[in-house]
């Protein structure tokens, strides 16, 4: 049995248990909807465009925040690796800030930016930046010393040394860092939209909770899980494996 078939069978069993349990349960439908009811709500939301609009709004915020976090992470990670004084100061601070959940910044974001998209972008960016800095710094530090000595003995230095030796040799760990940073920014986005978005998947979750529509809540949860799985397995995991094969890390 292939991996895909095992997963399909496993999900089929879970769906069957869900459907039977819901129908036999004494709980009302709005508290414990069946699988068919959730699918009906999900399909209706897709056809009406309600869910598609929410997906578009959430992904646009996510892409902007993730892009800013990736650039900041690479630049600051390089500075921490390159300069000892930056590592002793900023590097220490980044490790401390990484332990703070991004949603904790939301009260400050509201005060600084107001209850709008900028506040959500702020916490999405913070959610991924610290992780990206730590992984970029680690990737640069793990470049084999032999590579660096050979390159320098052949006259490579400055930007040429960074472009041809440091960045290519650290790519596998940078890809892993991007994958983790994406997951953190996705979680931060949902938390931010739950609290302050006018449109988006998080706002749709909040609407479902306020209206007592658990079928809508579970429909959005399924969409969030599907998008997360597609991004992780189709994009980042394949990119990571491709880079590892190219670099000789994976057979």
CA distance 114 to 183: 25
Cβ–Cβ under 8 Å, residues 201 and 193: yes
pTM, two decimals, is 0.84
Split at pLDDT 50, 70, 90, the class of 219 is very high
Q: Which two tokens stand for residue 247?
A: 């670099």
Residue 30 is classified by DSSP as: T
Query: From the CA atom positions of the chain, what is the Rg in Å?
Result: 22
Return mean pLDDT, the chain. Answer: 87
Q: Which residue matches tokens 């959430």?
A: 58
What mean pLDDT do residues 112-135 have? Answer: 89
Q: Is the pLDDT of residue 1 over 70?
A: no
**What local confidence, expressed as pLDDT, does residue 100 receive?**
87
Q: What share of the chain is helix, strand, coil (3-state, %, to 5)?
A: 85, 0, 15
Residue 246 tokens read as 């190219």
> Rounded to a whole number, what is the largest CA-CA distance in the chain?
77
Q: Using a pLDDT cut of 90, give the percent of the chain over it.
A: 37
E strands along the chain, which residues?
none
Residues comprising the chain, all counted: 251
Report pLDDT digits (tens) over 11-62: 999 999 999 999 888 888 888 899 999 999 999 999 999 999 999 999 999 9
pLDDT at 220: 92
What is the distance between the alpha carbons of residues 52 and 65, in angstroms, rounded to a whole number? Answer: 20
Q: Is the pLDDT of residue 247 over 70?
A: no
Q: 61 and 116 in contact (C-beta within 8 Å)?
A: no
Tens-digit pLDDT profile for residues 142-156: 888 888 888 888 888
What is the spatial distance between Cα 110 and Cα 121, in angstroms, rounded to a whole number?
11
């Amino acid at each position: 049995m292939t991996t895909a078939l095992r997963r399909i069978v496993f999900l089929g069993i879970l769906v069957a248990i869900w459907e039977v349990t819901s129908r036999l349960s004494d709980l009302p439908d709005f508290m414990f909807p069946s699988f068919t009811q959730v699918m009906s709500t999900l399909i209706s939301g897709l056809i009406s465009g309600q869910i598609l609009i929410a997906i578009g709004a959430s992904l646009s915020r996510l892409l902007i925040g993730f892009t800013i976090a990736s650039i900041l992470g690479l630049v600051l990670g390089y500075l921490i690796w390159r300069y000892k004084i930056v590592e002793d100061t900023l590097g220490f601070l980044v490790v401390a800030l990484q332990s703070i959940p991004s949603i904790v910044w939301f009260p400050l974001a509201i005060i600084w930016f107001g209850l709008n998209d900028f506040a959500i972008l702020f916490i999405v960016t913070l959610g991924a930046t610290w992780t990206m800095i730590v992984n970029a710094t680690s990737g640069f530090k793990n470049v084999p010393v032999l590579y660096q000595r050979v390159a320098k003995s052949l006259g490579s230095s400055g930007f040429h040394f960074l472009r041809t030796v440091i960045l290519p040799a650290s790519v596998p760990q940078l890809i892993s860092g991007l994958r983790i940073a994406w997951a953190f920014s996705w979680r931060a986005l949902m938390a931010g939209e739950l609290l302050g978005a006018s449109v988006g998947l998080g706002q749709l979750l909040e609407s479902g909770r306020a209206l007592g529509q658990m079928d809508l809540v579970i429909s959005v949860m399924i969409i969030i899980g599907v998008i997360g799985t597609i991004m992780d397995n189709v994009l980042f995991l394949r990119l990571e494996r491709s880079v590892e094969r190219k670099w000789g890390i994976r057979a």
